[in-house]
Structure 1
Amino acid sequence: MSNGKDATENSSQMTLKESLDECMEALDLFLNNHFNESLERLRPRANESMYHALIYATVLEMQAMMTFQHDDISNAGNTMKSAQEVCQRFRRKNQSLSLKSAGDSLTEEQLHAEVCYAECQLQRAALTFLQQDDNMVSFIKGGIKVRNSYLIYKELHSYIQSHDSVKGPSHIHLEGGILFGIGAFNLTLSLFPARILKILEFAGFSGDKEYGLSQLHDGATVMNLRSMLCGLLLLCYYTFLTFILGTGEGDVADAEQLLKPFRLRYPRGAIFLFFAGRTEEIKGNIDEAVKLFEDGCKAQHAWKQFHHMCYWELMWCFTYKRVWKMAYFYADLLSQESRWSKAMYVYMKAACLSMLPVDEARPFGENEIELFRQVPSFKQKIAGKSPPTEKFAIRKARRYKAQCPARLPVPVLEMMYMWNGFTMIRKRPELTEGMMQTLVEAERTLLESPENEYSVDDRCVIHLLMGLCLKNQGKAQAAEDCFNKVYASEKKIRFDHYLVPNSLLELSLLYIDQGRRDEAVRVLRKAKNNYKDYSMESRTHFRVHAALAKLKADQEEITHL
């Protein structure tokens, strides 16, 4: 009798091992740009094997995250839901018992089913957040999925630590799954301001950023099914999240270290060419970045979405260099090919053209005033919501409705600020100097023009951006004066209410650099508590939270000295 039981367990372990091996091969194909072959390898068993189901849905989710198209997001969500149902079939029957009390009766397969089930929930929650706009309350729906997933990971984590002896042949993949989950939770939750965490029902819980990073690093550096997921999440964090939701201090050295083995193994892998381009961009090596993004486009033609990610970065690279026609060219390509946010792309096309001298011929005979007027007509809703940057572009373009519109002074540079682009050029004095010249000219034009209802707002936009350039140039006092000018104009600003909290945020970051800790905290609290209902509010709150977290970390370091 016992022999029969052993045979069943062995065959089940064999199946688990086989399915893990096949999924590793499918991921390998994916990372070598064979996207469709990867999906074809996974699809046949996606209804019977938990790992095939999970990885198949994961690849579709990556596609959805690149396209931001409602159909793709919806398809990925449904596939991930089906994958979760497949995992459920393999889970232990008595879910009311904790893993600890279920004890040693758990098979290796049941442990894997727990981690796969938690991962499906985590990824479904990520998709839910992807569908939301900037409204804080919209985080609730994903919160319940996140909470369940988090509790499973927590249980698994303590279970495998207390059961050192239970190490089946596929243990490395199980451990990788737990490292990914615990790491992803700690890292992403550390980015969230407390008010969002409360909405997510994580009252009193805050992610430990350093712990999350270390868990993901462990997961990325040991060869297992989740190494790539751990690696990609870390690369996203170092090269994007720290800029878009943080204070713009991505750890490039860590990103490069992480990329090295992936680049050796997948030299033409489009994903890794893209991240390599992004690390060069952060270092200020704009020409090298351009070459890598162009290589990323040449490396594969199966998924156009990769091209769109590269076009987006190329548009910014040429913006930093003030080569407006090339920046326009990539915005134009995006407006034709990508459905993420046509309003944003058309706005960027108009914004680039508006930077050219009035008498210079426009490419394709286009006219920026006409383009700005078209922006609102491209407003879309992703799963019922418009992206916040699109709302911002539509608001800014409104003034062109008038018969004789008051022109936006530096729309490209203003949008560049929204994506934290001024931190990209801080290591390149000549690029900052170029931006400063553009701003000085824009200020002169404003002063020479008759006053209108937008004049104060426009001057404040220029002060904020000049402050960033002066900070890059190490002229701290002059930068401080610029940010304070915006704050002093608070009562006179009529439309661009985002300028005051953001100027206070930038002022606090300047104080942090100068070691003026108490002043920084005071200004950050003002930015956080005194303003609401302005453009891109959530993004500002994320950045304020990151600045406060940085101060706290610095203080702890001082205490430990």
Structure 2
Amino acid sequence: MSLLGSWFRGSASKSGNDPSPGVSQADHRAYTVSTLKEAMAGADLIMNDDIDGAESTLKKSSSTFHSFGLGACVFMKSILGFEKAIMAEASSRLNACETAAWNEIKKAEKEASSSKSQTERIYPPGSEYQLVLAESYLMSAIIGVLHESLTEGIKSFYKLRKAYVALDAIIQAESAYLKKRGLQSNPPQLAVKQTGVHEQEKMPGSFDDDDTDPEFLDADESHSGDQTPLQYQGHLTNGNVDETEKKLGDLSLNGNAGPETTEKPQDLPSRGGFEGGPDSDIFADPVDAFIHSGTSMCFGILLLIISLVPPAFSRLLSIIGFRGDRERGIEMLWQSSRFDNINGAVAGLMLFSYYNGLLGFSDILPSDADVIGKGAIVGYPTERLTELLVKLRGRYPDSGLWRFEEARSLSNKKNLTGALEVLKNNKSKMKQVAALNNFEMSLDSSYVQDWAHARDDYLRCIELNDWSPSLYYYLAGSAELELYRNACLANPKDESQINLHKKKTEELFRKVPGVAGKKKFMARPLPFEEFVVRKIKKWEERSSTLSVDLVDAIGVSPIQEMVYLWNGLKKMQPIELENAAKNLSWDRLTCPEKARDKIQAETDERALHDLCHAAILRNQEKFDEARAKLQEVLKLDKAAFKGPTKDDYIPPAAHYEMAVIAWVEGRAATPAETKKKIDDCQSWLDKVARWEAYVLDGRIGMRVQTGMDTLRWYKREHGLPTY
């Protein structure tokens, strides 16, 4: 996923302590090891909230490893903060690093070919720089896919392919070595579709010099693409969950990681059955350990990213010539996370992003019993993640990043109070981490209905991050609206308090359209920005039609709708679910009764109410009542949801909710009934997967994809037919 823009050429600058051409291979190797260790130690500071220290250390040398570390510093800031200027700086540094790595590869190959004596090594000469090149490709690609231009995004997919080819060469060399030593009997097959030009025969970036190539012609940036793919596959071994609460409780906020754990996380079968870790003599050499852990991390991220690529980009995958593999990608990330270096830390960060992020939004997941007994990549490996978090907190005691992940783990365990306590006490020197922490705190405050804190935290997001101010204003206004409605119900005669909240609510909502549209993703508006602008327009039209103020023209609680879209309901305790249901009451509307009746009569407004209420009822395990609400939505004509201000995501979301109910009911049924429920679940998901484009199809589609993955795993494990 990256910007394949202009490439920096010319020889890499030579470090002042670079060995002279006449030194022995042993001396050169010693220099490489020393430089690599120094650069990795500097880069490791990134994960401990010390990017300034990392940059200071890495600027002491101009070696390729140090250049790469500097690129990684800016990359981390760019993906954590989504700031355009920092993304541009990261692209520039990574492009320079790519050229330096390429020169080092050629130099190493030349020196190896002229040497008479060769020591048998795991990897070919220059593989450490081949890895740097591949990681630079990958980081640059991720930045590029976040760029606003679809054309740049397409170029990024091509760069992903280049990373794939580079990594494949390293893995095949490793597999050959292990097989020769009898340590691997089933080497991985990772061949990619060839395009007629061997990637490594060309100077990096030479392809990019000619933008007339058919693959890089300006794309149709208005194309919406196909919808959610139907299938994924994979499984993941998981540990026990019994000790999780205790171990999370041992994590303190004072920088200590708590007591050491003696229990070692269960390991996955690695490459072809080989399970060599950091304590293996195979990787005793620091350079070999760097290559192995880095390749596992980089390839794991690559395979995972491609498996999660939005379906609208399915045509672009032909540029790369391969498909993602979620199972293998996660396996390789777990392998890399065993190493106590920057590669292992980044792998751990990616694992937490996947489990606490993607799976945190999902509903159709294996039960804890199935995850422990059978293992599945779509399952949440609670114990294993806890062990990893303890380890990383111990290595990076000053980092707010891992405390942020601790909070997300707690919220996924329905401990929102504990999560908020961690978030409120989590101070980070990195603005980007502080922004992530603050937004998570905003969401959790919304889930526990602490509207004043939620409002203030959403507004603070604007100060910390410029990704989507329109969304932040909308969320802050939605929280303020609840305070306005509470004031109206608490004391209708307290006009001072009522008017205060009313004025503030309208002020926040009025700011939404004016700051929207400044950021785009692949040349399209950000989905949530498009969504909130449509909502404001809808309320403005209704306000005019009903002759009421904007704030009084709002129907279903917009903050509860957002809670549904972020799937905060699965993190709530019973009392919080009860309060969420109360917030959906039509009695909370502040317009006159006649206007209220007209709002309730609107088809998509009534359907939105039923959808949100059904999701609450499902989480309360009131499945029959939830199904009855959803049936009211399902019988409506699709045409009622079409239009510039209509909530077009409601019908597919209702189908998805039916799939979730079928899945949950099926797990507690008899074998015969379970099969029927699983088939029902599959049928509902298939319908959503084939749905036409709608504003939030990415948000709903993400849950659908994980549900499909779960069903494939379940059918495979239980011997049910797949199709």
TM-score, with normalisation over the residues of structure 2?
0.69
Return 467-476 or 408-417, whichever deviates more: 408-417
- Give the structure 2 partner of residue 114 of structure 1: 130
2:640 alignment partner AA: K
- Give the structure 2 partner of residue 484 of structure 1: 631
3-state DSSP of counterpart to 2:656: helix
- Give the structure 2 partner of residue 189 of structure 1: 306
Q: 1:157-193: per-residue Cα shift (whole Å, max 9, x none)? A: 1111102479754111110111112211232333346
Matches within 5 A, 1:528-539: 528-532=689-693, 534-539=694-699
2:435 alignment partner AA: H
TM superposition shift of 1:115? 1.0
Residue 382 and residue 251 in structure 1: after superposition, are their counterparts in 2 closer, same or farther (change >3 A)? farther
TM superposition shift of 1:255? 2.4
TM superposition shift of 1:418? 2.2
TM superposition shift of 1:31? 2.7
1:191/1:546 contact within 8 Å kept: no
| 2:392 is equivalent to residue 241 of structure 1 | no
Alpha-carbon distance in structure 2 between the residues aligned to 1:86 and 1:261: 34
| Structure 2 counterpart of 1:173, from 290, 295, 312 | 290
- Give the structure 2 partner of residue 65 of structure 1: 79
Residue 178 and residue 560 in structure 1: after superposition, are their counterparts in 2 closer, same or farther (change >3 A)? farther
Residue 369 and residue 225 in structure 1: after superposition, are their counterparts in 2 closer, same or farther (change >3 A)? closer
Q: 1:448-492: per-residue Cα shift (whole Å, max 9, x none)? A: 713159822221111111111111111112222222222222332
1:438 alignment partner AA: N
- Give the structure 2 partner of residue 100 of structure 1: none
Residue 93 and residue 542 in structure 1: after superposition, are their counterparts in 2 closer, same or farther (change >3 A)? farther
Q: 1:31-59: per-residue Cα shift (whole Å, max 9, x none)? A: 332221111111343xx322212221112
Alpha-carbon distance in structure 2 between the residues aligned to 1:217 and 1:498: 36
Residue 122 and residue 415 in structure 1: after superposition, are their counterparts in 2 closer, same or farther (change >3 A)? same
Residue 139 and residue 555 in structure 1: after superposition, are their counterparts in 2 closer, same or farther (change >3 A)? farther
Tell me which protein shows more helix as a share of its residues.
1
TM superposition shift of 1:104? 7.4
| 2:597 is equivalent to residue 450 of structure 1 | yes
Return 329-338 or 283-292, whichever deviates more: 329-338
1:173 alignment partner AA: F
Alpha-carbon distance in structure 2 between the residues aligned to 1:84 and 1:188: 21
Residue 138 and residue 545 in structure 1: after superposition, are their counterparts in 2 closer, same or farther (change >3 A)? farther
- Give the structure 2 partner of residue 398 of structure 1: 537
| Structure 2 counterpart of 1:282, from 402, 406, 412 | 412
Residue 56 and residue 203 in structure 1: after superposition, are their counterparts in 2 closer, same or farther (change >3 A)? closer
Q: 1:236-284: per-residue Cα shift (whole Å, max 9, x none)? A: 1111122357857644433222101111232331111111111111111
- Give the structure 2 partner of residue 148 of structure 1: 162
2:462 alignment partner AA: S
1:443/1:459 contact within 8 Å kept: no
TM superposition shift of 1:227? 0.8
1:350/1:371 contact within 8 Å kept: yes
| 2:26 is equivalent to residue 26 of structure 1 | no
| 2:556 is equivalent to residue 409 of structure 1 | yes
Alpha-carbon distance in structure 1 between the residues aligned to 2:601 and 2:452: 27
1:261 alignment partner AA: K
3-state DSSP of counterpart to 2:345: helix
Alpha-carbon distance in structure 2 between the residues aligned to 1:203 and 1:119: 16
Alpha-carbon distance in structure 1 between the residues aligned to 2:341 and 2:45: 15
Alpha-carbon distance in structure 2 between the residues aligned to 1:216 and 1:31: 17
Matches within 5 A, 1:217-296: 217-244=334-361, 250-296=380-426
Alpha-carbon distance in structure 2 between the residues aligned to 1:421 and 1:42: 41
| Structure 2: gaps spanning 5 or more residues | 1-19, 110-118, 182-281, 366-378, 489-496, 667-676
Residue 458 and residue 517 in structure 1: after superposition, are their counterparts in 2 closer, same or farther (change >3 A)? same
1:353/1:362 contact within 8 Å kept: no
Return 152-161 or 15-24, whichever deviates more: 15-24
Q: 1:281-330: per-residue Cα shift (whole Å, max 9, x none)? A: 11111121112112222xx3x32222221111111111111111111110
Choose 1 or 2 for highest CA Rg.
Answer: 2
1:41 alignment partner AA: T
Matches within 5 A, 1:25-44: 25-44=41-60
Q: 1:503-529: per-residue Cα shift (whole Å, max 9, x none)? A: 111211221222312222222221121
2:108/2:125 contact within 8 Å kept: no
- Give the structure 2 partner of residue 524 of structure 1: 685
| Structure 1 counterpart of 2:659, from 490, 495, 508 | 508
1:243 alignment partner AA: G
Residue 160 and residue 379 in structure 1: after superposition, are their counterparts in 2 closer, same or farther (change >3 A)? same
Alpha-carbon distance in structure 1 between the residues aligned to 2:587 and 2:647: 17
Q: Could you say what the CA RMSD is over the residues aligned between the two structures, in angstroms?
A: 3.2
Alpha-carbon distance in structure 1 between the residues aligned to 2:568 and 2:51: 31
| 2:506 is equivalent to residue 369 of structure 1 | yes
Residue 193 and residue 311 in structure 1: after superposition, are their counterparts in 2 closer, same or farther (change >3 A)? closer
3-state DSSP of counterpart to 1:504: helix
Residue 171 and residue 78 in structure 1: after superposition, are their counterparts in 2 closer, same or farther (change >3 A)? same
Bigger relative contact order, structure 1 or 2 (CA pairs below 8 A, ≥6 apart): 2
2:137 alignment partner AA: Q
Alpha-carbon distance in structure 2 between the residues aligned to 1:177 and 1:438: 49
TM superposition shift of 1:22? 1.3
1:13/1:109 contact within 8 Å kept: no
Alpha-carbon distance in structure 2 between the residues aligned to 1:138 and 1:497: 30
- Give the structure 2 partner of residue 543 of structure 1: 703
Q: 1:206-256: per-residue Cα shift (whole Å, max 9, x none)? A: 433232222111111122341111111111111112235785764443322
TM superposition shift of 1:205? 4.5
Residue 54 and residue 366 in structure 1: after superposition, are their counterparts in 2 closer, same or farther (change >3 A)? farther
Return 494-503 or 228-237, whichever deviates more: 494-503
Alpha-carbon distance in structure 2 between the residues aligned to 1:14 and 1:37: 25
